[in-house]
Amino acid sequence: MTVLVKFLSKLFINNTLKALYLFFAILFIGCGANNAYIDITGPAMGTSYTIRLVPKRGSNPNTDLIKSKIDSTLESINDQMSTYVINSDISLFNKLGENAAIVISSDFKKVIMRSIYWSEKSNGAFDITSLPLTNVWREGKKDREYKEKWEPPSDLDIAIAKDNVGFNKIKLSHNSLIKAKKGQQIDVNAIAKGWGVDHLFSLVNSFGYNNYMVEIGGEVRVSGRNIQKKPWKIGVDYPLPNTNPGEKIMGIVSLIDKSLATSGNYRNFFEHDSKKYSHIIDPRTGYAIESNIASVTVIAKSCMDADAVATVLNVMSLESGKQMVENNDDIEAFWVVNEGGSFTTVKSSGMDISLLN
């Protein structure tokens, strides 16, 4: 038996609550049979996607047709929810004046409603209206002396931005998204990639496949089993700066009919006067978090939930995050905590991960 490892890790920067990296390794264990998979790949949502199919016996799939439908679906999601597309639905909403409205798709509405759900569950640690805070931290102090040198925003800058933040201010009437107040802006990047995975997952299922993997930018959902009729193997990296994805794997998660997402707080920072400021902003306070949580891996049925909760658990304290997970039977999590340069791990009661060291 040989072990063939193919790393499907992708860089993903979240502009809502954090700037993070998601790293995964998809491990296929077999006798050199990796080339029997059907792989479909392409660009997606600012990163890339991989669809890995276990072939159906006697079938000869039209991969060009499948890829065309996948690409069309991704383009539709971008046109609705990407803040990088200037005429997307979300971009148009962010430019609206107070009390103006835009009609959104049922899919976009589902993403917003699920975002509100996790905002409520996390007591505001997850908030898709926090884009004004993200922007003010990215820009830095407005009246700093040296514009080319970043400085943390002033308390006043933060207070002004925070006044426009609040998931409880989101106004939906049927499929109309209404601008609650001037300055309100939303960004669903912390959940939209997971939604994209789920959407492609359903699309692949409609083609008649039962055993397959869908991945966008490191976020994964699997159906059934791999080509060896075993659970799909997902590798979780050590949260080490200056390492390549898959270079040092901490543990392996076995998945059947589940999703997995990992978010980290160890690579991307603002820096001023030798002090580092996390790119993860707590929407409840308006300030960059100060946490020793290095990364969190989440398992859920849907990738949309795994995506959102991985974000949430980087913002919440370890204790409150663990309590939230334990109170939800459909979510499991694995925390890596940086204790002064060495790592300790914490996992929820139902989390099954095989640590390598």
Rounded distance between C-alpha atoms, residue 126 and residue 188, angstroms: 10
Rounded distance between C-alpha atoms, residue 131 and residue 158, angstroms: 12
Place of tokens 């029997």: 36
The pLDDT, as a whole number, for residue 267 is 63
Q: Where are the beta strands (DSSP E) in the chain?
A: 2-6, 24-30, 38-44, 47-53, 101-103, 171-173, 176-178, 212-216, 219-223, 232-237, 249-255, 259-264, 269-272, 275-278, 293-300, 331-339, 342-347, 354-355
Domain residues of the chain, as ranges?
81-189
The pLDDT, as a whole number, for residue 23 is 36
**Of the candidates 52, 70, 82, 64, which has an alpha carbon nearest to the alpha carbon of residue 215?**
52
The pLDDT, as a whole number, for residue 264 is 83
Instruction: Retrieve residue 78's tokens.
Output: 């971008």
* Torsion angle of the four alpha carbons 208, 212, 216, 217, in this order, in degrees rounded to the nearest 10: -170
Provide CB contacts within 8 A for 222, sequence distance 6+: 212, 213, 214, 232, 255, 256, 257, 258, 259
Backbone angles phi, psi at 288, to 5 degrees: -60, 140
Q: Where are the alpha helices (DSSP H) in the chain?
A: 63-81, 89-95, 106-121, 131-139, 155-162, 189-206, 303-315, 318-326
Q: What is the pTM of this model?
A: 0.88
Rounded distance between C-alpha atoms, residue 45 and residue 49, angstroms: 9
What fold characterizes domain 81-189? T-fold (1.10.3980)
Radius of gyration of the chain (CA): 20
Rounded distance between C-alpha atoms, residue 127 and residue 181, angstroms: 16
Decide: 261 and 197 in contact? Cβ < 8 Å. no
Q: Give me the average pLDDT of each 10-residue run along the chain (357 residues).
A: 28 32 39 69 93 88 93 96 96 97 97 98 97 95 88 95 97 97 95 96 96 94 97 91 78 97 78 82 93 95 98 96 96 94 94 91
